[in-house]
Each structure stands twice: as C-alpha cells, then as structure tokens.
Structure 1
Amino acid sequence: MSWSPRCSASSPRSGTAVAHGSVVDPASRNYGCWLRWGSDFQNPAMARQDPMCWQAWQDNPNAMWNWNGLYRNGSGGNFQAVVPDGQLCSGGRTEGGRYNSLDTVGAWKTTDIGANFTVKLYDQASHGADYFQVYVTRQGFDPTTQPLTWSDLRLVARTGKYAPSQNYEIPVSTSGLSGRHVVYTIWQASHMDQTYFLCSDVNFR
C-alpha cells in the first residue's frame, strides 16, 4: 500500500528547513490542523469551526508549519522524566515551547477508528525506528476536560526495529473502547537518540 501526506514536509509552504515526521493517520494534532487549515489559516471561521486548531494557530503558527518537528533529543528512554504529566502532547514543551498549544485541553477534532486500526507515520528524512510504542487512553478518560497524564495511557502496541523508509505502518488491536480517546505514539528514531511524542485524537466507533 502506498500513501503519503497531502504535501511533503520539504515543500516551501511547510516552512520547515529540516524534515522529520509525524503520525499522519490518525492525524496528530498539529498535522491535522495543518492539513485542514494550512492553506487558509487566517480564516476567522476557524475559531467557530475548529476552535482547538484556532487557539493553536494563534499561539504559534510554527507548530503547524513544523508539524514534523515535535521531538526531543537525549531522552535516554526515560520518557516520564523528561515529559511531565499535562505536557505529553507537546513533548514536555520541547523546541522552546513551540508546541505548547497542543497540550490545551478541549474538543480537538477526531478521526473515527475501529477496535483494530493502523497507525501510519510519514518520515520525510527516512530516520528509521528503533521501535514504536502506541498507547490509547483508558476508558473513562475525557480529553475534553482532563489534561493527559501517563497514568491515563494503556500500551496497545510495541514494535521492533523499522528500516529507514518514508512510510511506516503499525497495526493496533484493542477491545472494549468506545467514544473519544487519545492515541499516543512514541517513535524512537534510529539515527540518534531522538524521540517523537505524538497525540492523535480519535473516536472509537
């Protein structure tokens, strides 16, 4: 199966000089905002139609233009030490706080999924992966009113190595989940100790 994001990370309108990657399905928060509004990000209708993206664009447009740069270097696998509760979606306020708006609690737009779904990542730079970890929030957690914490997450998939490529797919199987959740993907890149922390808002049908 071949797929890619609507626009490559190296295109001029993405506004980023160094291409990395993100979860594109179910879309990470900032990738989804870029996908929906990147060509119309000054439209005031966003405030009504997509208020969580609106606050993110108002806070720092570069969080969307650099949708593929939400990572931390040098975590040493000790993720809970470098990414505090309430800061999971910004990677612990990484990159000088560029992505802080992604931690904002509220009704982010969701992607509909079933119990069995596939996490798809786009890696413009072909970093490869030592592993991926995919978590889903526990049943009963409400991301529209509660900040995301590590104790809210349940591990649903852990992979081995992925060879360098631009497209990765991670099959995930769950059971007993319904309604709104957050899928949290940790991508440990292979080229150095570089870790991506990616929140995707979903609705289990």
Structure 2
Amino acid sequence: MLLSVLAALLIALVPGSGTAEAHGSVVDPASRNYGCWQRWGSDFQNPAMAQQDPMCWQAWQDNPNAMWNWNGLYRNGSAGNFQAVVPDGQLCSGGHTESGRYNSLDAVGPWKTTNVAADFTVRLYDQASHGADYFLVYVTRQGFDPTTQPLRWSDLQLLTRTGRYAPSNNYDIPVHTSGLTGRHVVYTIWQASHMDQTYFLCSDVNFS
C-alpha cells in the first residue's frame, strides 16, 4: 500500500500526467479506476490487458485520463440530493461528471474484484486532506449481477453512514454485512468538508 501511495504522489507531480490537483479515492477495496491505474498504469498500452482485464482495457481505450485522474471523480454542488444529479446507470461515473471523463466506469461487465469478508474496512486515501462531513457506504443487494446489469439506486443497500472525519490523508470506515455471497459492488459516497464536493466511488468485491 505504501508503494502505491508513493507512486500516486509521483504521478500527481508528473507534468502532463492529467492529474491537475490532488483529491482522493477508495484504495481498498480499490475503486474501478484506481484499480485500473494500480494494475496497468506503468503498462497501459499492453494489448494483453484486453484479455486479462477487459473492463480496464475498455476504460483505458475510452479515456486514459479517467485512470490518471483516479482521484478526481467528484461533483460539486449536489446539496445532498444525490439521486437527482446521478441517474440510474451512471452511478460509477458520478452522473457523467467531469464532462464524461469517467463514463467507462459505468460499463457493465466482469470488473476485477477484491476478496472481502462479511465485515471489512473501506480505506480511502485523501491526498488533499479535505476531511469528510460523512461517508455513506452501500453494497448491492444479493442477486444483483454487475456483470450483466447496470447499477441503479434501487440495487443498493445502505450499510454505513458515518459522522465527521477530521482532515487527514487516510480514512478507515468499518462495514458490517450479513448473508452476502459472491460478486457485489461497494458504493462509497464521500461528502468532503472543505466545500460541497461529493465523490461517487464504485469498488467491485467478492464476498468469500
């Protein structure tokens, strides 16, 4: 984890990397674009990705800046009315935020998963130390299949709503589940404290 964070900081400082300023994302279980950057950032033109990691391949082909800017998937001014600004089928792109940069993250298919237990921890890395008014952590209902179905609000179960987190680089959010098996999507909403800025983050997991 330390190496990946150091690499992230280096990417943020590389001119032309596409990362204009530091924000953050869920790094464990990795958000879709953070995972694609983590696995393929140093080898993103390798055609083997098309077979080994097809969902990341389509994302890199669609817009490489979605991965270089893994920390910039947010919307400003949502005023807490998330379902109004993020329609069904667009949850993983934050409602096609940032002029559609992250649209590929809504693609339906076999995204790589992180194995988790019934009780697990969402770890979020905040490069800019924005702090949080709160986090909301949802998990898809049992029976939802993200490999064949677009993600809708009605597919989500709210499991955790936190209080405030003081500004820091790292936040841990304990999540408790019961009766979930197989592939699911963990959907994390991070309401930053420095302004009305909201992050919408999809992580693919397998309850093992």
TM-score higher than 0.5: yes
| Conserved 8 A contact 2:31-2:201 | yes
**CA distance 1:125–1:185, change in 2 (3 Å):** same
Secondary structure at 1:203's aligned position in 2? strand
- Rounded to whole Å, the distance in 2 between the matches of 1:42 and 1:11 is 21
Q: Percent identity?
A: 83
Q: How does 1:42-81 map to 2 (within 5 A)?
A: 42-81=45-84
Match of 1:12 in 2: 14
How many residue pairs are counted as aligned between the two chains? 204
Match of 1:31 in 2: 34
**1:97 maps to 2:121:** no
Q: How does 1:117-128 map to 2 (within 5 A)?
A: 117-128=120-131
**1:160 maps to 2:158:** no
**CA distance 1:137–1:191, change in 2 (3 Å):** same
| Conserved 8 A contact 2:4-2:38 | no
Q: Which amino acid counterpart does residue 171 of structure 1 have in structure 2?
A: P
- Rounded to whole Å, the distance in 2 between the matches of 1:55 and 1:92 is 19
| Conserved 8 A contact 2:34-2:67 | yes
Secondary structure at 1:177's aligned position in 2? coil
Secondary structure at 1:196's aligned position in 2? strand
TM-score, normalised by the number of residues in structure 2: 0.95
TM-score, normalised by the number of residues in structure 1: 0.97
- 1:165-194 Cα distance to aligned partner (Å, 9 max, x none): 000000000000000000000000000000
Secondary structure at 1:30's aligned position in 2? helix
Instruction: Provide the aligned C-alpha RMSD in A.
Output: 1.3
Deviation (angstroms), 1:132: 0.1
Deviation (angstroms), 1:12: 1.5
**Moved >4 Å (runs of 4+):** none
2:86 is aligned, of 65, 76, 83, to 83
Secondary structure at 1:52's aligned position in 2? helix
- Rounded to whole Å, the distance in 2 between the matches of 1:27 and 1:74 is 25
